[in-house]
Amino acid sequence: MAEKLFIGGEWVDAQAGETFPTYAPSTGEKIADLAKAGREDAQRAIQAARDAFDNGPWPRMSGKERAERLRKVAELINAKSAEISEIEARDGGGTMKKAMFADVPGGASSFAFFADCAENTADVEDRGTNPFPAAESIVRREPYGVCSGIIPWNFPFIMASWKMAPAIAAGNTSVIKPASFTSLSALEMAKCVQEADIPPGVVNVVTGPGGSAGEELAQHPSVDKVAFTGSTEVGRRIMQLASGTVKKVTLELGGKSANIVLDDADLDLAAAGVLFGTFFHNGQVCESGTRALISRNIYDEFVGMLVERAGKIVIGDNMDMATDLGPLVSPSQVDTVERYVKLGLDEGAKLLCGGSKLTDLPAGLDANAFYPPTIFEADNSMKIAQEEIFGPVLCVIPFDSDDEAIKLANDSIYGLGGGVWSKDADHAQRVAAEMQTGTVWINDYHMITPAQPFGGYKQSGVGRELGDYGYNEYRQVKHVWRNTATDRSGYMHFAALSGNI
Ligand code: NAP
Ligand code: MG
């Protein structure tokens, strides 16, 4: 039996009756069939969201009432943590460790944070008065209407929560399309929404191909806002599709982030941070620090530490809590990595470790889906240092001065994440201030909280998710001007048209 679509509060098959399989990348086993939404199913979901917005109770409830429902979703997610973690890890190939400590609690905390926003953020702001003509201004923050969210495969559960929770917290309704490789956990999220008494049509989830169901969510006239996370290439397409009806668009796209190790860093910490910054989830993280820029004063010693420690990362069955790295999301993603490794060698980059598929995996695992941590000494102009690989490949690049490090860091079409390692806080802050990127971690990496903004400079995206910045991306701004004059003397500007009206 296939998993169904969640539309208008009902679990339904795709209209054409089609399904598609999803696999566990670690073994290549099929784990479920899912309803394959076509354009007509996406349209049904958009219509359900439209009705729920135009005629339903959700946008008319108080922020406090919505917040109670979102908090309930967070509670239900936490209560089902073990079950959802297992689904998330098995379907996408991430480790159980990541699912239990990052994905599922991260998803719950998005709902909890945006519940607080719904309850505690004012919808009406007093903007004061004008002396002449005498007037008072207020600004109202209002939901857009129907918000679609298109999700990538690398963090399926968290990414779905980043699109769904702020949208509905602000009084919008939502249609979510997960990535085809990893659609199962978004359906679990929909079940929590249903159990939390969120009215039918406020949340809809359609599983199916980006090229049909996804395109419909980006272009349909009844969609008011599109939020997309994924590749820069598809992001460009989303912008084009949305332009037909000038939709509000937010995009979280690719990256090639720089992790800068200054010569006054704690090298032990920095080595661990650089490895974590690149190899966490096999580098399938948009803000991975895939370019380590290293001061030449410490370069040889530091690169030696990286190579030695990269060999200690435990690769194996992702469902085992002792495993650091499981498979990539699919054998096709491994093909992409292999293509880039070959390209790096052809470009003259020096391979320091990794660089070919593993031959000693435990029985039962699909060797075509795994790839070991790979480190290249590279030049920043090489394709492997400029293009997003989305796999476990790190480029190490030396620099001679802070200015050179900053220049190299900014020599990229992207600007999503980045790191600076130094024991001197002022030094690190000076470098961070010059980096053209949406997030910089000092002496840390990958840390994200729902309370602070996340998003990209340059071709890494448009707009912000999370924090009050992210919440306000789901609320449009209405200025209401009220003339407070008591007679015509306060309306002299009418004379611009005619003295006699
Ligand atoms: P992707 O191919 O861009 O797909 C992302 C989503 O868009 C999927 O749901 C996909 O559906 C859908 N899609 C594909 N073509 C579409 C179209 N023409 N119209 C509408 N939707 C379409 O990216 P991915 O392979 O899933 O994820 C990897 C990429 O995402 C990387 O480049 C990474 O950097 C980026 N990423 C960025 C962030 C961030 O926050 N900035 C976070 C995570 C990932 P199907 O699955 O059905 O193809
Ligand atoms: Mg899968």
Going by alpha carbons, the residue nearest to atom 34 of ligand 1 is 254
- Residue 35 vs residues 10, 180, 206, 442: alpha-carbon distances, Å: 13, 11, 8, 44
Residues 216-234 pLDDT 10s? 999 999 999 999 999 999 9
In whole angstroms, give the CA distance from residue 213 to residue 334.
26
Amino acid identity at 339:
R
Q: What's the mean pLDDT in 257-265?
A: 98
Architecture category of domain 258-442 in CATH:
3-Layer(aba) Sandwich (3.40)
Q: At a CB cut-off of 8 Å and minimum separation 6, what does 1 contact?
A: 33
Going by alpha carbons, the residue nearest to atom 35 of ligand 1 is 230
Measured in angstroms, how far is the CA atom of residue 379 from the centroid of ligand 2?
A: 35
With vertex at residue 244, the alpha carbon angle to CA 243 and CA 249, rounded to the nearest 5 degrees, is 35
**What DSSP string runs through 198-235?**
PPTTSEEE--S-IIIIIHHHHH-TT--EEEEES-HHHH
Going by alpha carbons, the residue nearest to atom 19 of ligand 1 is 215
Q: Is the pLDDT of residue 239 over 80?
A: yes
Residues 191-208 pLDDT 10s? 999 999 999 999 999 999
Residue 448's nearest CA partner among 162, 210, 222 is 162
Q: At a CB cut-off of 8 Å and minimum separation 6, what does 128 contact?
A: 136, 137
Confidence of residue 130 (pLDDT cuts 50, 70, 90): confident
For residue 486, the model assigns a pLDDT of: 87
The answer to whether 456 and 416 have CB atoms below 8 angstroms apart is yes
Strands 203-205 and 258-261: unpaired
Q: What's the mean pLDDT in 125-148?
A: 93
DSSP three-state, residue 35: strand
In whole angstroms, give the CA distance from residue 303 to residue 308.
9
Measured in angstroms, how far is the CA atom of residue 1 from the centroid of ligand 2?
A: 17
For residue 315, the model assigns a pLDDT of: 97
Token pair recorded at residue 489: 């003397």
For residue 93, the model assigns a pLDDT of: 98
Token pair recorded at residue 162: 């980043």
Residue extents of the structural domains in the chain:
5-217+460-479, 258-442
Token pair recorded at residue 106: 């991260």
The answer to whether 218 and 206 have CB atoms below 8 angstroms apart is no
To the question of pTM greater than 0.95 for the whole model, the response is yes
Measured in angstroms, how far is the CA atom of residue 20 from the centroid of ligand 1?
A: 18
Residue 77's nearest CA partner among 223, 229, 187, 207 is 187
Identified catalytic residue from 252, 287, 388, 473 = 252
In whole angstroms, give the CA distance from residue 96 to residue 108.
17
Which ligand is in closest contact with the Cα of 284? 1
Q: Is the pLDDT of residue 500 over 80?
A: no
In whole angstroms, give the CA distance from residue 259 to residue 327.
24
Amino acid identity at 27:
T
For residue 100, the model assigns a pLDDT of: 98
CATH, range 5-217+460-479: 3.40.605.10
Q: Do domains 5-217+460-479 and 258-442 have the same CATH topology?
A: no
Percent of the chain clearing pLDDT 70 (strictly above): 99
Residues with CB under 6 Å of ligand 1 are 150-154, 177, 179-180, 209-211, 214-215, 218, 229-231, 234, 237-238, 252-255, 286, 388, 390, 416, 456, 461
Helices (H), 80-230: 81-92, 96-98, 104-120, 156-169, 184-195, 215-219
The answer to whether 394 and 273 have CB atoms below 8 angstroms apart is no
Helices (H), 254-329: 267-279, 299-310
252 is catalytic: yes
Nearest atom within ligand 1 for CA of residue 218: 20
For residue 164, the model assigns a pLDDT of: 98
What is the Cα Rg of the chain in Å?
25
Amino acid identity at 418:
G
147 is catalytic: no
Q: Is the pLDDT of residue 309 over 70?
A: yes
For residue 489, the model assigns a pLDDT of: 80
Measured in angstroms, how far is the CA atom of residue 425 from the centroid of ligand 1?
A: 36
Which ligand is in closest contact with the Cα of 34? 2
The answer to whether 425 and 442 have CB atoms below 8 angstroms apart is yes
Q: Is the pLDDT of residue 131 over 90?
A: no
The answer to whether 288 and 417 have CB atoms below 8 angstroms apart is yes
Q: Is the pLDDT of residue 49 over 80?
A: yes
Going by alpha carbons, the residue nearest to atom 32 of ligand 1 is 231
> CB atoms < 10 A from the CB of 136, how many?
14
Q: Is the pLDDT of residue 492 over 90?
A: no
Q: Is the pLDDT of residue 337 over 90?
A: yes
Q: What's the mean pLDDT in 9-22?
A: 98
Confidence of residue 499 (pLDDT cuts 50, 70, 90): low
Summary count for the chain: helices (H), strands (E): 16, 20
The answer to whether 200 and 174 have CB atoms below 8 angstroms apart is no
Write down the mean pLDDT value for the chain: 97
